[in-house]
Structure 1
């Protein structure tokens, strides 16, 4: 995971055989995991507070079989108790292979 001073967070993954499904393409659970992680990381980087995923919606756009993936996220809405965050996974050529939106509960003390 890389964090930039501006608050951007990027998660990288080099695809391996263990990430594949029966069709020899990236398993959908890998997409979902990458998005959930990057969305939560962006929110934590911005708020410095723990959070938990309430819902996660993933749209699978293109199959991928090899290479390095990059996931980034953007906060769409930030409230006191919840946030909505959007993310995209791209392949090494910059092609979007999945997009997702998550709603997170912000865990504040008290």
Structure 2
């Protein structure tokens, strides 16, 4: 029985990775899954000209999208549900002009209907460029 559960989890994570990687919004921004396992996700985005604002640095909306997206993936990697962002408090710590950005998240508090999750955005060298605290609502089971 334990092996069957493991296979089901693996199949679900494979499906989830495909679900996010084929998301029109992710494709628009060039976001892809870098790592995915139950309870942990890492996504990435290679900074392109279209991500930059008029100051020549990554637009805050693109940064917030990465931080928000990785939280959604992390929650959904643990349970077969839909989620919605209630709030996302973002701290922009350093400007980014180029390179690859990585976003990761960790659960702060897991309730039945509300999840509190923290996410961080780093550059290739590991330096933290932004952080967010998200409050997410569990909407419904998918299957």
- Does 2:79 correspond to 1:47? yes
Structure 2 unpaired stretches of 5+: 1-32
Query: 1:107 maps to which residue?
Result: 139
For the pair shown, the structure with the greater C-alpha radius of gyration is 2
Q: Would you say how many aligned residue pairs link Structure 1 and Structure 2?
A: 109
Structure showing greater relative contact order (alpha-carbon pairs closer than 8 Å, 6 or more residues apart): 1
Choose from 122, 125, 129 the match for 1:90.
Answer: 122
Structure 1 unpaired stretches of 5+: none
| CA–CA separation in structure 2 for the residues paired with 1:55 and 1:5 | 25
TM-score (norm 2): 0.73
TM-score (norm 1): 0.94
Alpha-carbon deviation of 1:5?
Answer: 3.3
Q: Which has the higher helix share?
A: 2
8 A Cα contact 2:87 2:136, kept in partner = yes
| CA–CA separation in structure 2 for the residues paired with 1:35 and 1:4 | 15
